[in-house]
Amino acid sequence: MILVIDDDEAVTASLSLLLKQSGYASATAATPTEAIARIERDDVALVIQDMNFTRKTTGEEGLELLARIRRRAPDLPVILMTAWGSIELAVEGLKAGARDFITKPWTNGQILHAVGTALGVPGDPRAPSGEASGRRPTRADLAERYDLTGVTGESRTLVNAIDIAGRVAATDASILITGESGTGKEVLAEFVHQNSPRKERPLVRVNLGGVSSSLFDSELFGHVKGAFTDARTDRAGRFAEAEGGTILLDEIGELDPSGQVKMLRVLQDRAYTPLGSDRVRPMDVRVISATNRNLEEDIRSGRFREDLFYRLNLITVHLPALAERGDDLALLARHFVQTTRRTYGFPELTLDESAIRWLGTRRWPGNVRQLRHVIERAALIADSRHLTVQDFARAFDRTSERDAEDWVPPVGTMTVEEVEKTMILKSIAHHDGNLSRVAESLGLSRGALYRRLEKFGIEH
């Protein structure tokens, strides 16, 4: 039997009818007390519960009821129902043991999919066996529910992050992705976009650390002809490019106070005005932000606005450092060898098992990004296409060398273009992906650096 807990008779009647038509027996309860009595008395296989039962709208009552249910029936699956403003508390519920949550208003398909998944109904191709058994899902379980293209790894810490991100992907909830530099925040943003209803629309990436305050309005919101001296034509901003899709605001913690005020206004109003225009344009964009900074500390120091922080982090997903991901390093190393084969035209490139073990003994302050760069360097400077410990030792040491002459590879081992690309990659790793510092260190303008990034196919 499925127990529906909600004080709204219209909700319980609607869900009871839907469940009956789909072949499920159900019962209802209007209060937490009545619900607990039902669970203790009847054979309840699944609970669908609201987050509020009085005039309060904080969702705390729902979390309290969930805790009571978990104490009495730890293995009983619970699906939370929440209005838009309570999604953050619903995610807290997931962490506290809820199986899933659905947002109001829902569709019948959403309800039946959530129920089928929670109960492990045979024949439902998207019902993960791990969730049906009450254990935490594995990567294999998540692969049955989501498109995991581009996501490499199966460690518990990574799977937990994917699990939370996947559950909110279908909503329009704003997500803040945190983690050290190089942990794969852009990859997670792509995962959310590809598993959302907006996947057919663009995912636009904006590195806010590389946008100067003087270009902020034009870059983000666009401008009209004549807005400033060099504005010879109208230009669509990044929000316009992302219309109907998703925008990734990378390095959100680097925004200066003026940019923070403007961003807050746009997120509050869901609208923006191009520079030089008096026409307000509505915005239909899902916002994902990413940072390697501790924004809560920045709030306490007065560096970051608290009201903007709460606009950005309706849901926070933290990505673990590479050191916290167990055996994922070996999986990632093999994956990057495969991508290096395609990128550089080295189809015969292979990886010695002893090299994998050696890589596992190293420190990776640059995380996944640094591992990728080291593997690319090793492939470029190796004497053969079978990468050994010696090849990686040479490539790894050069990531921290300051003497340019000592870095130069032996004559005949690399072309000028390969040297240029490798030096750019080296600088990106050294500066933790800060392109402003990369351009400065290489003696390039940002425009010249971007042209080289596009030329060599370097993601940024």
CA–CA separation, 79 and 119 (whole Å): 11
Taking only the tens place, the pLDDT of each residue in 286-343 is: 999 999 999 989 999 999 998 899 888 878 899 999 999 988 999 999 999 999 999 8
Assess whether pLDDT exceeds 50 at residue 128. Answer: no
Per-residue pLDDT at 228: 82
2-135 and 323-456 agree in CATH topology: no
Select the more confidently predicted residue: 167 or 380.
380
Per-residue pLDDT at 55: 60
Assess whether pLDDT exceeds 80 at residue 84. Answer: no
Q: To the nearest whole number, what is the mean pLDDT of the chain?
A: 85
Per-residue pLDDT at 235: 87
What global pTM score does this model have? 0.65
Whether the CA torsion 123, 126, 128, 134 is positive or negative: it is negative
Taking only the tens place, the pLDDT of each residue in 337-355 is: 999 999 889 999 999 999 9
Taking only the tens place, the pLDDT of each residue in 425-438 is: 878 877 778 888 88
Q: Of all residues in the chain, what percent are helix, strand and coil, respectively (each to 5)? A: 50, 10, 40
Mean pLDDT of 6-18: 87
Closest CA relative to residue 234, chosen from 280, 285, 274, 281 = 274
CA–CA separation, 400 and 41 (whole Å): 66
CA–CA separation, 427 and 335 (whole Å): 23
Assess whether pLDDT exceeds 80 at residue 410. Answer: no
CA–CA separation, 188 and 198 (whole Å): 15
Q: Say if CB 32 and CB 60 are below 8 A apart.
A: no
Per-residue pLDDT at 34: 94
Element (H, E) at 132: helix 129-132
Count other Cβ atoms within 10 Å, centred on residue 200.
Answer: 8
- Per-residue pLDDT band at 406 (split at 50, 70, 90): very low
Select the more confidently predicted residue: 383 or 33.
33
Taking only the tens place, the pLDDT of each residue in 194-215 is: 999 999 999 999 999 888 888 8
- Per-residue pLDDT band at 243 (split at 50, 70, 90): very high
Q: Say if CB 442 and CB 450 are below 8 A apart.
A: no
Per-residue pLDDT at 57: 60
CATH topology of domain 2-135: Rossmann fold (3.40.50)
Assess whether pLDDT exceeds 90 at residue 158. Answer: yes
What's domain 323-456's architecture?
Orthogonal Bundle (1.10)
Q: Say if CB 98 and CB 71 are below 8 A apart.
A: no
Closest CA relative to residue 288, chosen from 227, 206, 183 = 206
- Per-residue pLDDT band at 51 (split at 50, 70, 90): confident
Assess whether pLDDT exceeds 60 at residue 372. Answer: yes
Mean pLDDT of 409-428: 73
Per-residue pLDDT at 411: 61
Instruction: Say which CATH class 170-320 falls into.
Output: alpha beta
Give 379's Cβ-side CA count (13 Å radius). 27
Q: Say if CB 26 and CB 19 are below 8 A apart.
A: yes
Question: Which CA distances in Å does 192 have to 161, 185, 240, 367, 413?
Answer: 11, 11, 20, 21, 41
Q: Which residue has the tokens 């993601």?
A: 459
CA–CA separation, 37 and 404 (whole Å): 74
Per-residue pLDDT at 115: 86
Q: What angle do CA 270, 273, 275 make, to 5 degrees?
A: 145
Structure tokens at 36: 């607990």
Q: Say if CB 349 and CB 340 are below 8 A apart.
A: yes
CA–CA separation, 428 and 150 (whole Å): 21
Per-residue pLDDT at 178: 95
Q: Which residues contact 362 (CB under 8 A, 6 or more apart)?
A: 396
Assess whether pLDDT exceeds 60 at residue 413. Answer: no
Q: Say if CB 419 and CB 167 are below 8 A apart.
A: no
Instruction: Locate the domains of the chain by residue range.
Output: 2-135, 170-320, 323-456
Element (H, E) at 70: helix 60-72
